[in-house]
Structures are given as C-alpha cells and as structure tokens.
Chain A
Amino acid sequence: MAVAATTKTGARPSWAGRRPPAPAWVGTVPFLAYVAVFLLWPTGIVVVDALKNPNGAWAFSNISELGNPLVRGYFVGSFKLCLLSSAAGAVFGAILAYAVASGDPDGLIRRLYIAVSGVLAQFGGVTLAFAFLVTIGPVGLLFHASWYFDFPWGIGLIYTYFQIPLMVLVFLPAIDGLKVQWREASENLGSSSWQYWRYVGGPLLAPAFLGAALLLFANALSAFATIQAWENQIAYIVPQQISTAMSSEVGLSSVNVASLLALGLVIMVAVVMTIYALLQRRAARWLR
C-alpha cells in the first residue's frame, strides 16, 4: 500500500497542491500561550508596576524604597526566619537523612520516611499552624510554650516541621551517592569514623548540603499560609506585608508597595536559587 502511494505521487511532497503544513513548532503554541498569559504576564505586571508610580510614569527611584527602614524591616524579618528555619532544617534533616540512608534500601522504614516526608514537606499550610497551636500553643496538650508567639523562635520551630522533611527528600540522593568503597578504603587505611567524615564524607557532601540548605531558604522565603494562620495581627515578613498592601492599598508614599515588595522577594529567591543550581552542579561531580 505504502509503495503504491509513493509511486502515485512520485517525488512530489505529499502536500503538493494543498496548503503547506504548518511548521512543527506550531504544536507548542497552546502551551506557550497559556504560560505567557498566566505566568509571564502577571510576572511582567509585577515588575512594571514596581517600577512605575501610580500615575503610570516610569520611576526607577522606587527601588530606593526597598532601603526604607520600614520595608527593610520586613526583609530582615524574612531573612531571620528563613535563616533560622533553614539552618535547623538542614542540620536535623541531614542527620535524619543519614539515618534513613544507612538502613535497608528497600526497607519499610525508608519507604515510610520518604512517603511521610513527601506529605509533610507539602504540609506548610494553614493546618500546620493549627497542629502546633494545640501541641505547644496557648491551648497546647504537651505544654504551653511562653515563646509560642515570639518571632522568629515560635514560628521558626513550626517551619522546621516542613523544612526537615524537605531536607530529607533533597539530601537523601546525595548520601546515597557516597560509595561504599570510599568508606572501605578509608577504613583499610586505618581511619577512624571522625577522620572519614572530616576528610572524605564531609567534603564530598558539603556542596550538596549547602545547596539543599539554600533550597530550604528559598522555600521558607515564599511561605505565607502558615505564618498568616499563626498570627495575623502583626506583619513580620515580606509575604505578610504584600498581603496587607494588597488588601489595604494604602502604603508608603506613592509606590505600588505590593509590587515593589514582590519584586524584592523574587530577586532574593532568584539569587538563592542560582547559587543552589551552581552548587548542585558542583555536587554532581562526585555523587553520581
């Protein structure tokens, strides 16, 4: 059949006489259009609004508002909270990841911890604040922590609840990448456990660890639901202030506050994620 068709039309392209077919990239237009409308356009609006004054004229001087002490306070708050929760999350998460990785690779414990981590890493919502409220909050069953509503300690503890599982998910592949032979080799050369971690395991894992910690940092930067449900009277961090600015529309001088803060936040996330990507590339050199 195919042969017959070929001889009939000869060397002519099969679409001869008809409209030529559209180039292949046309098939991706629906996707590209969707992303353009619902991702690129809103992002563009944020950037443009941040750099314009309410009259619609360009005002690059808006950027200097990020240095305004009030605005800076929210960024400092965000930085404190993210640093605290990502440092604690990274250290404890790494310990837990090592404990998980050193067990049976097909064991129930490992499967359970990975599945639970998958759920809890996504659990940074309103419900998480409820859960801690009834554990150590004013109505806590376990105890009533007097520092529950302190910033950043109370909320930092709550954040570690989703940071540790995320660390486990991100860091586990790196620990799995440590080859048994390296351990054997160092033991054959008479090294102690401390020496192995100091001179072999530690340096090998360091880029992956730092990268994962940065990912946690970016993750905490954009979290909003938990802290909003924890305490919504006072705005401590940038996302909260964006929310306030969006709903009140009265703000600093004459600037689109929400857009400006959002731009600042996205720059912060972008910087962190770039360093993360670089570190991951460095980490991938050994850990395959």
Chain B
Amino acid sequence: MAAITSVGETPIVGPAQRPRGMQAGRRRRLNAFRYVVFTVFGAFFLLPLLAMLRFSLEGAKLGTWSLSAWRQIASYQGSGIPPLLSSIEITLELAVITCAVMLVLLVPTMVWVQLRVRWLARTIEILCLLPLTIPSIVLVVGLGEIYVRIQRFSLSALMLFWVYVILALPYAYRALAAGLSGIDVKTLSEAARSLGASWFTVIVRVIAPNMRQGILNAVLLTWSLVLGEFTIAYLLLYTNLQVELYSISRNTPNAGVLFSTSFAALLFAFVLLMILSYVGRARRGRG
C-alpha cells in the first residue's frame, strides 16, 4: 500500500485550490504524518492478505511455489463434507435468490409507502433497521423452530435465503432509500398513471430504472453479505461456502485450498465494492 501511496496521490494541492485553512509548515508536517499513517496501516492490512496469498501458492515442500491449491478449488473434496465446488455453487445461487427476493419485496413496498401510505414510512424504516440490533447469533436461536417447518418441504441449503433477506434488509434499505430520495417519485408516478400505466408498469418501468444506482448498491451489498455469512448456516447445520471452509480447516488445518479459496472470495468482494465506488462516482459526475 506504500507503493500506491507514492504513485497515486498528489498530496500537496496548491493553496489556491484547496487551502484547508493551514499554513505551509503545518501542511508539510501533516503530509509527513499522512504518509507514515498510510504506510503503517497499509502494512497492517496488507500483511495478513499477503501471507494468505503466499500460503495459497505453497508447494508440496515448504518454501516452494505451486499453483496446486488454486487448481484444487474445482476438485477439492474433504472427507465427510460436501465437495468444495458444490458449496461455492450453493452460495452463489443463494446470493442471486436473496437479491431477487430482496428487490421484489423492498422496492415496490418502499415506492408504495412513499406514494400512498406515508404514515407507515417510519414503521417500515424501523423494521428494516431492526436486524442491526438483533444479531444473527440471536436470530438463529429463534429460527430453529421455523426452519423445522421449512425443512418439511425442502432440505436444500437454498432455503437459507428466507433469513438472508432479513439480514440484508438494513443495508438494502439504506441503499434504496438513498436512491429513492434522489428522484421525484410522486411526479413520475402521476405522469405515468395519467398516461394509463398500471402500478406494475410504474414501479418496474418508470421508478426502478430511475433509481438504478440505489438498486445496484443494494444488490452488491447483499451479495457481499451472503458470500460472507457463517453464523446462521453453521448453527442451522447447512453448508455454505464459509461453513465448508470452516469444516475443511477442522479436518485438515493449513490445507492450501483454504487460502486460495479465501483469497479468491475476498478478491471477488473487493471487485464488487470497487465497481460500486466507481459507478457511484460516474453517476455523480453526470448529475
């Protein structure tokens, strides 16, 4: 991260451009402070990741290099647990289903509340933010009873999406609320309605395209949440990616495939968040 510091940043912005109310001497000292901070924290954040990367490239003999741990991602099968690839598949499917259900549930409700039932807005907000104060370790204790009923219909780990939607609510709600606040929902919907559009058309073809940014944010946040979820799956005895990694680490600690898979998952999350940050900037730039 130190390298990036010296390449990317233009630390001393001309005083006319950004004075920040500071004398030149202080500015210089501040910049020295900033570089020290960025270097130290950069090292703190980067070292564990690099160590993980190095371990994922460890060969059969200590100190040698090999790609075998990365190739194993597709084929790894621990004893007594499902193959790694199947749990990756399940987790990705879960992410897609959770996003879809979250959008179908939340977008029409939020638009409808803003247009027709303003008095419910506060209630909806509180309900959406409630999962922040009810941690998943608490939720899962009460979920056992409900999942017994669900398991009569299906034993698939995909059934986790029911509760993952709840976990995603606070993040999705805030992203969507930000998107909604940026557009004039009332005027748009009145215009569409007076031209004969049904409510379905209003929400899907008029409002939703106008809050693309909010929807994208909500989807990416939900994705990264589902990819990292462990507690609920583990305690309801389902196997998703995180539970699989945990089981592998209990059977064979230090298996190379642990580090390659973890690193890949992290990289994936990073790319998602980077997309989020860049798309957000591009939209702001135009607006």
Which of A25, A46, A139, A182 is close to B117, meaning CB atoms less than 8 Å apart? A25
User: How many Å from the CB of A271 to the closest CB on chain B?
Assistant: 10
The answer to whether A37 has its CB under 8 Å from any CB of chain B is: yes
The interface stretch among B20-28, B81-89, B207-215 is B20-28
Report whether A187 and B22 are in contact in the complex, using a CB–CB cutoff of 8 Å. yes
Report whether B23 and A92 are in contact in the complex, using a CB–CB cutoff of 8 Å. no
The answer to whether A278 has its CB under 8 Å from any CB of chain B is: no
Which of B34, B105, B224, B250 is close to A31, meaning CB atoms less than 8 Å apart? B105
The answer to whether B120 has its CB under 8 Å from any CB of chain A is: yes
Report whether A127 and B266 are in contact in the complex, using a CB–CB cutoff of 8 Å. yes
> A187 to B259, alpha carbons, bound, how many Å?
52
The interface stretch among A60-68, A144-152, A202-210, A220-228 is A220-228
> A165 to B269, alpha carbons, bound, how many Å?
15
The interface stretch among B91-99, B159-167, B180-188 is B159-167
Give every chain B residue within 8 A of A125 (Cβ-Cβ).
228, 230, 242
Give every chain B residue within 8 A of A124 (Cβ-Cβ).
228
| Contacts A116-B270, A122-B224, A269-B133; A35 near B48 (Cβ below 8 A) | no
Which of A2, A109, A221, A228 is close to B135, meaning CB atoms less than 8 Å apart? A221
Report whether B262 and A39 are in contact in the complex, using a CB–CB cutoff of 8 Å. no
| Chain A binding surface SS class | helix
> A120 to B267, alpha carbons, bound, how many Å?
11
Report whether A246 and B265 are in contact in the complex, using a CB–CB cutoff of 8 Å. no
B171's closest neighbor in chain A, by CB? A122
User: How many Å from the CB of B23 to the closest CB on chain A?
Assistant: 7
Which of B134, B137, B259, B277 is close to A134, meaning CB atoms less than 8 Å apart? B259
Report whether A46 and B142 are in contact in the complex, using a CB–CB cutoff of 8 Å. yes
Report whether A126 and B269 are in contact in the complex, using a CB–CB cutoff of 8 Å. no
A185's closest neighbor in chain B, by CB? B21
The interface stretch among A9-17, A79-87, A257-265, A280-288 is A257-265
Report whether B41 and A164 are in contact in the complex, using a CB–CB cutoff of 8 Å. yes
Give every chain B residue within 8 A of A6 (Cβ-Cβ).
none
| Contacts A31-B124, A34-B165, A134-B52; A108 near B141 (Cβ below 8 A) | no
The answer to whether A252 has its CB under 8 Å from any CB of chain B is: no
- Of the candidates A104, A124, A221, the one having the most CB atoms from chain B within 10 angstroms of its own CB is A104
The answer to whether B5 has its CB under 8 Å from any CB of chain A is: yes
User: How many Å from the CB of A72 to the closest CB on chain B?
Assistant: 18
Report whether A225 and B48 are in contact in the complex, using a CB–CB cutoff of 8 Å. no
> A51 to B198, alpha carbons, bound, how many Å?
49
Which bracket fits the contact residues of A?
A: 35 or more
Report whether B262 and A127 are in contact in the complex, using a CB–CB cutoff of 8 Å. yes
The answer to whether A177 has its CB under 8 Å from any CB of chain B is: no
Which of B47, B109, B132, B142 is close to A273, meaning CB atoms less than 8 Å apart? B132
User: How many Å from the CB of B285 to the closest CB on chain A?
Assistant: 10
The answer to whether B45 has its CB under 8 Å from any CB of chain A is: yes
Binary contact readout B205-246 vs A (1 if CB under 8 angstroms, 0 otherwise): 000000000000000000011001011001100000010011
The answer to whether A118 has its CB under 8 Å from any CB of chain B is: yes
| Contacts A27-B117, A181-B21; A103 near B11 (Cβ below 8 A) | yes
Give every chain A residue within 8 A of B225 (Cβ-Cβ).
122
Give every chain A residue within 8 A of B55 (Cβ-Cβ).
134, 141
| Contacts A25-B120, A99-B33, A130-B262; A42 near B135 (Cβ below 8 A) | no
Binary contact readout B189-203 vs A (1 if CB under 8 angstroms, 0 otherwise): 000001000000000
The answer to whether A214 has its CB under 8 Å from any CB of chain B is: no
| Contacts A134-B51, A161-B45, A242-B141; A24 near B116 (Cβ below 8 A) | yes
> A129 to B219, alpha carbons, bound, how many Å?
27
User: How many Å from the CB of A122 to the closest CB on chain B?
Assistant: 6
Give every chain B residue within 8 A of A28 (Cβ-Cβ).
109, 112-113, 117, 120, 124
The answer to whether B258 has its CB under 8 Å from any CB of chain A is: yes
The answer to whether B100 has its CB under 8 Å from any CB of chain A is: no
The answer to whether A270 has its CB under 8 Å from any CB of chain B is: yes
Report whether A126 and B249 are in contact in the complex, using a CB–CB cutoff of 8 Å. yes
Give every chain B residue within 8 A of A133 (Cβ-Cβ).
254
The answer to whether B136 has its CB under 8 Å from any CB of chain A is: yes
> A115 to B9, alpha carbons, bound, how many Å?
16
The answer to whether A251 has its CB under 8 Å from any CB of chain B is: no
Which of A31, A224, A269 is close to B231, meaning CB atoms less than 8 Å apart? A224
| Listed A/B pairs (19) with beta-carbon separation below 8 Å | A27-B109, A39-B169, A42-B145, A49-B142, A95-B37, A96-B37, A103-B34, A108-B8, A115-B270, A119-B270, A119-B273, A125-B228, A127-B52, A131-B262, A140-B51, A187-B23, A229-B249, A239-B231, A266-B134
**Interface residue ranges, A against B (CB under 8 Å):** 2, 24-25, 27-28, 30-32, 34-35, 37-39, 41-46, 49, 92, 95-96, 99, 102-104, 107-109, 111-112, 114-116, 118-120, 122-128, 130-135, 139-142, 161, 164-165, 180-184, 187, 193, 218, 221-222, 224-225, 228-229, 232, 239, 242-243, 246-247, 258-259, 262-263, 265-266, 269-270, 273
